Amino acid sequence: MTCERLASLHSLLPMVLIDSSYYNRFVVAPFNILYYNVFTSHGPNLYGTEPWTFYFVNGFLNFNFVFVAALLTPVFLLLVLLLVPLNHRHPACLPYWLSLQPLYLWLLVFVLQPHKEERFLFPVYPMICLAGAITVDALQKLWFRFLVRRATKAAHYLSHTAPIMVSAILVCSLLGVSRISALYNGYHAPLDLFMELSNVTGDSKLPADQNINICVGKEWYRFPTSFFLPDNRWQLQFVKSEFRGQLPQPYGRGLNATSVVPLHMNDMNKEEPSRYIDVAECHFLVDLDLDTETTWEPNYSRLSADWTVIKSVPFLDVARSHNFFRAFFIPFVSSDYCIYAPYNLLRSKHLKLGKHDPR
């Protein structure tokens, strides 16, 4: 246990020192996350709840059969223990149950939480790969024990079971490439549009020394990062949409910005009207043009008197696309089952040059 304590201290101490320095108060971020999501009555229920199957579906999407194999690792290890005579492992090797315990404890804790996000599994991604590999190794031992050893005098299971390992790598790799391709084809539009701002910023018609408002409405959660904004003139702004939760707020200015508690924040995910600006104050707007529209989410690209589309990139229309073919790209087939909508960068025809202080 001494090694575990030292490892925990080695990770926790720098984290606490750095966080406390930036926040100018004592902060233990892992405790804050645990406290808010487990020990408050509202924490895990405000930001999107999902059924218990959420992580199993996402696990398969991200790791395909590797994730399935990782879930079956205890079963295969038990079969090997009962059916395959093995020499004792070297004392320096950790027992399997200790090596894999964090993976299943992590899954158990987060499956039970109402609020689920794909990124919450990120810390155990390496362990999913490890557990999947152990399952393949166990399958090789079982295959050798019952289907090979009886027909040959081969001494080591790896000599006759390499095709199992190679097949597992090939199948999982192909599915992984298919998944990556599907994600790129379906969802690369926001990155393309915000990179386009670098080309737009050289336009002589833009104000040289004043703020430029790039606005998002219903697409607020697909804004990648402020690093995509060409320079400090560009200010991300929000226009009102059907979303009724709390929108992000940028840090203030100054060297102590990370330690200043901003105004107009709450821990109940309640809408903060101070986040919004009037759409008439937007120089540019990013919007997904779907067939549906509401009072607060019009199809801006059709308001030709107010907006000009300067770049449009296809974006997957999830609701109208086939579940499997939007999840995995199959050449020459997926295109027949996936529907795309225009993801637009629009420029106001009433470009204002007045300053606007970001709120």
C-alpha dist (Å) from residue 8 to 2, 3, 107, 292: 10, 9, 20, 51
Total number of domains in the chain: 2
Whether residues 193 and 319 fall in one domain: yes
Position 358 confidence tier, pLDDT thresholds 50, 70, 90:
very low
Whether residues 339 and 192 fall in one domain: yes
> Would the pLDDT of 260 be above 60?
yes
Q: How far apart are CA 202 and CA 295, in angstroms?
A: 34
DSSP for 72-88, please give it: HHHHHHHHHHHHS--PP
Does residue 152 belong to any structural domain of this protein?
yes
Does residue 262 belong to any structural domain of this protein?
no
Alpha carbon of residue 10 to chain centroid? 27
pLDDT at 315: 98
Whether residues 85 and 222 fall in one domain: no
Q: How far apart are CA 234 and CA 236, in angstroms?
A: 7
Position 150 confidence tier, pLDDT thresholds 50, 70, 90:
low
Which of the listed ranges 40-44, 110-114, 215-219, 264-268 does the model predict with the highest average pLDDT?
215-219
pLDDT at 151: 57
Position 267 confidence tier, pLDDT thresholds 50, 70, 90:
confident
355 or 61: whose pLDDT is higher?
61
Over residues 138-145, mean pLDDT: 92
> Would the pLDDT of 152 be above 70?
no
Strand order through the sheet with 234-238: 234-238, 212-216, 284-288, 340-348, 307-316
Over residues 310-326, mean pLDDT: 96
Domain region containing 173 = 46-186
Whether residues 302 and 173 fall in one domain: no
Share of the chain above pLDDT 90, in %: 65
SS3 333: coil
pLDDT at 207: 67
Whether residues 125 and 193 fall in one domain: no
Task: Indicate the residue among 141, 160, 186 that finishes a domain.
Answer: 186
Least-confidence region, from 16-20, 107-111, 149-153, 199-203? 149-153
Least-confidence region, from 62-66, 136-140, 236-240, 291-295? 291-295
> Would the pLDDT of 4 be above 70?
no
Q: Positive or negative CA dihedral for 60, 62, 65, 71? A: negative
Whether residues 170 and 241 fall in one domain: no
Whether residues 154 and 277 fall in one domain: no
Whether residues 108 and 155 fall in one domain: yes
CB 18 within 8 A of CB 11: no
Whether residues 109 and 197 fall in one domain: no
Q: Number of C-alpha atoms within 13 angstroms, CB side, residue 83?
A: 15
Does residue 151 belong to any structural domain of this protein?
yes
DSSP for 296-310, please give it: SS--GGG-TTTEEEE
Least-confidence region, from 85-94, 108-117, 138-147, 324-333? 85-94
Query: Residue 196: how many CB atoms within 10 A of its CB?
Result: 17
Over residues 185-204, mean pLDDT: 89
Whether residues 63 and 161 fall in one domain: yes
Residues facing 276 on adjacent strands:
238
Whether residues 241 and 177 fall in one domain: no
Does residue 260 belong to any structural domain of this protein?
no
